[in-house]
Amino acid sequence: MVCSSCASGTIDSLADKRWRRVLWIALAINLAMFAGEIVAGVASGSRSLQADALDFLGDAANYAISLGVAGMALQWRSRAAVLKGGTILLFGIYVLITTLIAALGDGVPRAETMGAVGLLALLANGGVALMLYRYRSGDANMRSVWICSRNDAIGNLAVLAAAAGVVGTGTQWPDLIVAGIMASLGIVGGSQILRRALGELGQRNAVRPEVSLPEVTSLIN
Ligand SMILES: [Zn+2]
């Protein structure tokens, strides 16, 4: 599931050194888990692991954009959001297509890899959520962090359920169904981010040089 609202914070909270360090660690963990789930997903033949990696990619982009906010011009923030939305959209399409192609065959993904990596993903998301909560900075939006972490956990649990389903049925179908749902949600989420960011860019070019702070925070989320 692609969160659209992880790790928000305004420029004030980003001036807090400790909070910036927390965001850097969260960025590193999310990037590592993105790569880890892709590699494990390809190696084990699991599409749901690859689909779950989408969320780590989106979250990593959120942390990177949050970290860049203090020094970034508004237009570059919109461009970064375009890049983020576009990448998530393309990646979601890739996972959905490979899932549909896999449905034509009858390979069975390795359930033990799915279970182990799904559990690791759950621990990584839980650890990041605890860290964000523990070191939250004054105006950090903890509600969005909570919603985001909850959605992340639902995605990880769906991978674990798919692994159990693969063991139970001896087929790839539980993996494909979970992957299909998650990739579709990623495509929808990516399109929404992309459309909003493109809209912001167009609006700014057309009418107003000034953008209010709420719009800035909605952009980086
Ligand atoms: Zn997330």
* pLDDT tens column, 99-118: 999 999 989 999 999 999 99
Question: DSSP H helical segments within the chain, as ranges?
Answer: 11-14, 17-44, 47-68, 74-104, 111-134, 142-169, 173-206, 213-220
How far, in Å, from the CA of 122 to the mean position of ligand 1? 11
Look up residue 46 and give its amino acid.
Answer: S
How far, in Å, from the CA of 150 to the mean position of ligand 1? 8
* pLDDT tens column, 194-217: 999 999 888 866 655 455 555 545
More confident residue, 173 or 140: 173
How far, in Å, from the CA of 213 to the mean position of ligand 1? 24
What is the arithmetic mean of pLDDT over 74-81? 84
What is the arithmetic mean of pLDDT over 8-30? 78
Q: Can you say whether the dihedral through the CA atoms of 101, 114, 159, 49 is positive or negative? A: negative
How far, in Å, from the CA of 147 to the mean position of ligand 1? 9
Q: Which two tokens stand for residue 144?
A: 């969005």
Residues 6 or more apart in contact with residue 101 via CB below 8 angstroms: none
Residues with CB under 5 A from ligand 1 (ion): 3, 55, 59, 148, 152
How far, in Å, from the CA of 164 to the mean position of ligand 1? 23
Mean pLDDT of the chain: 86
pLDDT for 72 beyond 80: no
How far, in Å, from the CA of 200 to the mean position of ligand 1? 23
Q: Which two tokens stand for residue 28?
A: 């590193």
How far, in Å, from the CA of 153 to the mean position of ligand 1? 8
Given pLDDT bands bounded at 50, 70 and 90, which one contains residue 76? confident
pLDDT over 90, % of the chain: 59
Give yes or no for a contact between 125 and 63, defined as CB atoms under 8 angstroms apart.
Answer: no
Residues 6 or more apart in contact with residue 73 via CB below 8 angstroms: none
Q: Which of 117-126, 157-166, 210-219 has the lowest mean pLDDT?
A: 210-219
pLDDT score, position 221: 47
Supply the DSSP symbol for 9: -
* pLDDT tens column, 125-137: 999 999 988 887 7
Give yes or no for a contact between 23 and 69, defined as CB atoms under 8 angstroms apart.
Answer: no
More confident residue, 131 or 140: 131
How far, in Å, from the CA of 75 to the mean position of ligand 1? 24
How far, in Å, from the CA of 210 to the mean position of ligand 1? 30
